[in-house]
Amino acid sequence: MTIGYKLVEAGHSVTIVEKKAEIGGLAKTYNYDGFCFDSGPHRFFSSNLEVIRFLKKVFDDDLLTFPMKSSVFFLGKYYDWPLNIRTILKLPLKLIFPVFKDFLINIFKKKTANTKNFKEYIIQRYGKTLYNLDFGPYTEKFTKVPNTIIHPDWAKAGVNRAVIKEDIKINSLVELIKTTLRPKSKLDIYYPKKGISEFHDRLKEFILQRQGKILLNRKVHSLVVEDQEIKEVKIVPDNNYQKFDVVVWTGPINEISDLLNVKKGDLDYLNIVIYNVRLKGTPKLDYQWIYYVDENILFNRLYNTVLFSRVSAPEEHYGLCVEVTCNEKDEIWKNPAIKESLIVDALIKVKLIDSRDEVIDIHPERLEKAYPIYKTNYRKELKKNLDNLYKTKNLIMAGRTGLFWYNNMDHSIDNAFMVAENIITGKRELEIINYWE
């Protein structure tokens, strides 16, 4: 949507093909009887001033601003997240000593540049205690695969996504303690009052006003390729062929590989089922979002709607958006409703609600290919796949899903600026970035 905005602003003709009934992709807002829920805790934060200026321009400065507050739940208690030294000091005494032993080892032990997997990376930087308590079990619960086959980049990306602010460094126990001791800088995040779909709606209005086209409930069926260029795109269900000078693909990399008869890489995505829970009363805790480490708790993460925007629920009501990762073959993906009762049981167990009487209703929603999974071979597989795709001269891959990139929305917006600028100036910069170097 940002690429479309930038291109029509520059006078280009744009057609956006969207397979769903509404725009937004992985970042959209669901509405049910006066409640609104985003598809996960979406918010804007960026140190890139160009991104911030763009957001303020789109919203005409009509953005909510508030400090970030999140938590992790493990050992039966809530701890502030990202971890800091004060959080660690709240751990049981029998755990504090092993953590600080790991800290001393971390100071004096020489770091290995080439850790082979997520487990090695975390243990080297945080020690075995925090790996066993938090990082290790949460990641295996989330990804559904052993940490020994997850690339260290998943750790770098995950920490960056959770911490948000670039000048906050917690890539090791030593950095964590140094950061905790430094004076705190203010960390405000931006959020549209009516939910994240308000962002797409404003971009959509701008694009349509400038004669751009947005085709909903459509799919790319096939491509006509000549001399290594896409000449025509067949769009269904219309079954018509359209000509484009440039094709920007933001869908799954596997799908465009099939359309171009390019050998697919060993690249897997993870799906999400979100349970949007409408509730009576007021939130028990003031955390905007919370991570759950315990494998006996079904969900990985949840966010509280009214702590992003008070108008997301009627007065004396609120919503919890509860996330469960899964694969396409999993029972929960095929029939999300079967887990609703377990979701409520878990909310009671973690003390977010007192009883089932507080629950008005639950609305499960499915998000396909929400996370790229960084297995230990992903860099090689991704480079090989993109190199083959980029032999098609007028194809550009972009965004979280198209670039197989575990990122935030502000990174996708920044990527959109680059793509649009390259199209406008006639350049084609297709460097494959090692995002987490």
Which of the four pLDDT bands, split at 50, 70 and 90, describes residue 170?
low
Task: Give, in order, the Cα–Cα distances in Å from 227 to each of 224, 261, 394.
Answer: 10, 15, 11
Pick the CATH number of 268-373 from 3.30.1460.30, 3.90.660.20, 2.60.40.10, 3.30.390.30: 3.90.660.20
Q: What is the dihedral of CA 336, 257, 378, 162, to 10 degrees?
A: -50
What pLDDT shows up at residue 164?
Answer: 43
Tokens 């660690």 locate to 88
**Rounded average pLDDT over 125-148:** 92
Does 71 or 81 have the greater pLDDT score? 71
What pLDDT shows up at residue 351?
Answer: 97
d(CA 424, CA 5): 12
pLDDT at residue 181 tops 90: no
d(CA 40, CA 27): 8
pLDDT 10s digits, 215-239: 999 999 999 999 999 999 999 999 9
d(CA 211, CA 217): 19
- Please, which contacts does 79-86 make with residues 24 or more away whose CB atoms are closer than 8 Å? 81/162, 81/291, 82/159, 82/162, 82/163, 82/168, 82/170, 82/176, 83/130, 83/134, 83/170, 83/176, 84/170, 84/176, 84/179, 84/180, 85/176, 85/177, 85/180, 85/181, 86/180
Going by the DSSP 8-state scheme, the letter that residue 430 receives in this structure is -
Q: How deeply is 283 buried, as exposed, middle or buried, from its count of CB atoms within 10 A (0-12, 13-18, 19+)?
A: middle
Task: Give, in order, the Cα–Cα distances in Å from 130 to each of 84, 97, 134, 145, 414.
Answer: 12, 12, 6, 19, 34
Tokens 């999993």 locate to 330
pLDDT 10s digits, 364-420: 999 999 999 999 999 999 999 999 999 999 999 999 999 999 988 998 999 999 999
Helix (H, G, I), strand (E, B) or coil at 425: helix
pLDDT 10s digits, 406-430: 988 998 999 999 999 999 999 887 6
- Contact between 231 and 225 under an 8 Å Cβ cutoff? The reply is yes
For 292, the token pair is: 């759950």
pLDDT at residue 39 tops 60: yes
d(CA 434, CA 437): 6
**Rounded average pLDDT over 311-324:** 98
d(CA 74, CA 10): 50
Task: Give, in order, the Cα–Cα distances in Å from 222 to each of 122, 282, 289.
Answer: 43, 50, 41
Which of the four pLDDT bands, split at 50, 70 and 90, describes residue 163?
very low
For 369, the token pair is: 């290919």
What is the CATH superfamily name and number for domain 2-67+191-266+375-425?
A: FAD/NAD(P)-binding domain (3.50.50.60)
Does 237 or 114 have the greater pLDDT score? 237
Percent with pLDDT over 70 in the chain: 90
d(CA 294, CA 308): 25
d(CA 301, CA 296): 13
Residues in a beta bridge with 289: 70, 303
pLDDT at residue 85 tops 70: yes
Mean pLDDT of the chain: 90
What residue ranges do the domains of the chain occupy? 2-67+191-266+375-425, 79-186, 268-373
| Single pTM value for the model | 0.91
**Rounded average pLDDT over 323-330:** 96
